[in-house]
Amino acid sequence: MRNSLHLIGLLLLRHCGRGWPYVVRSARPFRPLKGKPRQKGKSLPQGLRPQYSGNSFAPGVLSPRVPSGGGHASFFFAVLEKSSEAFLRWSLLLGLVMYVSFLNAQDIHFSQFNFSPLNQNPANTNLFDGDYRFVGNYKNQWPTVPVKYNTVSLSAEMNFVTLKNNDRVGGGLLFYYDVEGDSRFTTLNTDLSFSYIKALGKNAHHFLSYGLQLGLVNRSFDYSQLNFDSQWNGDNFNPASAINESFAQTHVTVFDLGTGLAYKYIKDDRTNFTIGFGAMHINSPKVSFLGDNTSIVSPRFTVHTRAQIKVSKKIDIVPEVMYQRQQNKQEVDLGGHIKYHLDIKTAHTVALNLGAYGRVSDAGWLMAGVDYDNWQVNMSYDINFSGLTAASRYNGGIELSVIYILARPKKINKPGAVCPTFL
């Protein structure tokens, strides 16, 4: 089956967007090995298997096991031969999606990468102007594809203390939740982040931050809604039949470790620059449901930079770039937005954000949002132009970010000073 999935990927990459001038006529390269019984329970979910009911066929659903032999690949292609071209297209697309998702065990990514600071780099912890920061991110990816991805991330940070030399010590808590597909394949990360920020120089314009992140990774799936090859008797598919499968476990929890460095320069409220390097999952946590080393979360390395530049009384430009690499996969995100200040004559901050970004060879997105005092709210919409366009119809998904920052009231020690009546 693994070989058939590789072929699916090649067919998709070669023919997606050109129409489908043919159907697969033969599965001979995937004949089963005679005389060798299939070993059960040796692989994680990686493929799609078609459903059969009477004389009709329906798109495949995620199968929680990949057989070691090739007989079921022959059945898979036989089904494709009898199906319509539309079914062939959807089967190949969905097969590639789930193959990539489960084989590489890659992290998710947010399009608004600089608005999810603790997911990006532990050194971003407490690296902001204030004492408390609360961040929420939500992404609904590929809403037009049957296998949907929904991701939620929540974080809270606190500045523990600011030393006399302007050094800062802080920490944060991060929750990350992601669920995918019919198997409800779920990832739940819980992380504690700590940082020490060193102020460079007497004027406190330059800062160097070191961050450390300790966490737990929990992964689980539910096979009660899945279909298995043992429910096919050669003539009919019977969902009530026993699945004849056993799993060592359907959830796993492991320790996770990440670290990072970041440098920040602050000239004033509207001019600053940040660059950082993060290394996540440096202990390569094992997340196999079989209790072995067949699946790990590989280290992810991130380089990111952001600048805010005042170009006029009311306009700032904010260019942003991020590069990530995990295993042999990499991504480059770049773009920027314009920040238009509506109110510059009062103490209130009111600004509109409007920008465009892109992920090389994958997607582009438009972003719009508003800054109001301590609040930052932004929404973006992905436009997919990768090999999944035939299924996604160029629709990548909606993403929302919300940031709220608070500062402790400063003590006023001057004689005769009037205390404010509000915070």
CA separation (Å) from 157 to 124, 128, 166, 188, 406? 10, 10, 18, 19, 10
- Band of pLDDT at residue 245, cut at 50, 70 and 90: confident
What one-letter code names the amino acid at 233?
N
CA separation (Å) from 205 to 31, 201, 263, 365, 407? 67, 7, 11, 33, 19
- Contact between 299 and 279 under an 8 Å Cβ cutoff? The reply is yes
Between 205 and 64, the more confident residue is 205
Among 40-54, 236-250, 303-317, 403-417, name the most confident range. 303-317
Q: What are phi and psi of 231, to 5 degrees?
A: -85, 0
Q: Which of 205-214, 360-369, 382-391 has the least mean pLDDT?
A: 382-391
Q: For residue 4, is pLDDT > 80?
A: no
Instruction: Give CATH 2.40.160.40 domain extents, the chain.
Output: 107-224+250-406
Mean pLDDT value of segment 2-7: 38
CA distance 231 to 67: 14
pLDDT attached to residue 384: 78
Mean pLDDT value of segment 100-110: 54
Q: Give the distance between the most distant pair of CA atoms in the chain.
A: 95
Mean pLDDT value of segment 129-136: 96
pLDDT in tens, 59-95: 333 333 333 334 444 444 444 444 434 443 444 444 4
pLDDT attached to residue 22: 27
CA separation (Å) from 33 to 28, 74, 79, 232, 278? 12, 12, 20, 20, 46
Mean pLDDT value of segment 270-287: 95
Q: Which of 16-20, 111-115, 339-343 has the least mean pLDDT?
A: 16-20
Q: Rg (Cα) of the chain, in Å, rounded?
A: 25
Q: Which of 97-111, 137-151, 384-398 has the least mean pLDDT?
A: 97-111
pLDDT in tens, 370-382: 999 999 999 999 8
Using a 10 angstrom Cβ sphere, with 0-12 exposed, 13-18 middle and 19 or more buried, the burial of residue 7 is middle
In sequence order, what are the beta bridge partners of 340? 315, 352
Return the structure tokens found at 69.
């032999």
pLDDT attached to residue 42: 37
CA distance 124 to 107: 18
Between 368 and 1, the more confident residue is 368
The CATH homologous superfamily for domain 107-224+250-406 is monomeric porin ompg (2.40.160.40)
- Name every residue whose Cβ is closer than 8 Å to that of residue 415 and which is 6 or more positions away in sequence: none
Q: For residue 323, is pLDDT > 50?
A: yes
pLDDT in tens, 294-313: 788 899 999 999 999 999 99
CA distance 170 to 42: 44
- Band of pLDDT at residue 148, cut at 50, 70 and 90: low
